[in-house]
Amino acid sequence: MISQDQMLLLPLWYAVFLMAITFHEAAHAFVAYRFGDPTAYHGGQVSLNPLPHIAREPFGTVLVPLLTYVLMGWTMGWASAPYDPEWERRHPRRAAAMAAAGPLANLLLAIIAFMILKAGLAKGLWLVPAAPQFDQLVIAAAPGGVAEGFGRLLSVMLGLNLLLFVFNLIPFPPLDGGSVAAGLWQSARNLHDRMRASGMGNLIGLLLAWMIVRRLFLPLLRIAVGWLYA
């Protein structure tokens, strides 16, 4: 269980998570719509309003992220945008672009957070902390003001979106990376379809991705933080 001080940060973490997941799914839906599949558009998912995404996946967008934060101190969850499987079959490269759009939306949010933090450090709004944390990459030059909370929000925004970018691009179903690979290479498509058709295959894909992501994400985060402080 988390401490009382960490509990006070729950609204901040959840707000960042909800923004990240909404951008991710809206990007999927928008690219699919532009490439000829209006399924998510008709479902209301081509939107930066989180409510349609929450309505589609309340368990993954509300209950699981709040529960994981209370139990572990960080948010985990999911959302989804509907698509037409027949459209995916007929246009595998378009489907690959749709799948890649979600993680790339998270990368864009991470870059935006990085640039604001970098500018704030250059202007003296924030300082480099003695012991940086995932949710506190900077400290306010004048503690207690709006800059302190905004710095923490941007820290979580950078780290969480970078994590979602890396995790979702790992090429195993049911992750987006599996769909990207399946849309680009027929051999990957055959394996992807077999795994995705099985609940056990999807579970194995998630477990493998979870084992791999820590080896990829932490070095990438260290590089990003090094650039931030440079």
Q: What angle separates helix 199-229 from helix 92-123, to the nearest 10 degrees?
A: 30
Nearest to residue 95, comparing CAs of 105, 106, 108, 86? 86
Question: Hey, where are the domains in the chain?
Answer: 4-229
Instruction: At 174, give phi and psi (nearest 5°).
Output: -95, 20
Counts for the chain of helices (H) and strands (E), in that order: 12, 2
Task: Give Cα 29 distance to the centre of its chain.
Answer: 15
Q: Give the DSSP per-residue string, 9-49.
A: THHHHHHHHHHHHHHHHHHHHHHHHHTT--HHHHTT-SSS-
Residue range 135-175, pLDDT digits in tens: 999 999 887 789 999 999 999 999 999 999 999 999 888 88
Higher per-residue confidence, 147 vs 205: 147
Give catalytic residue positions: 25
Task: State the Cα–Cα distance between residues 166 and 188, nearest whole angstrom.
Answer: 19
Whole-structure pTM value: 0.93
Residue 186, pLDDT > 80, answer: no
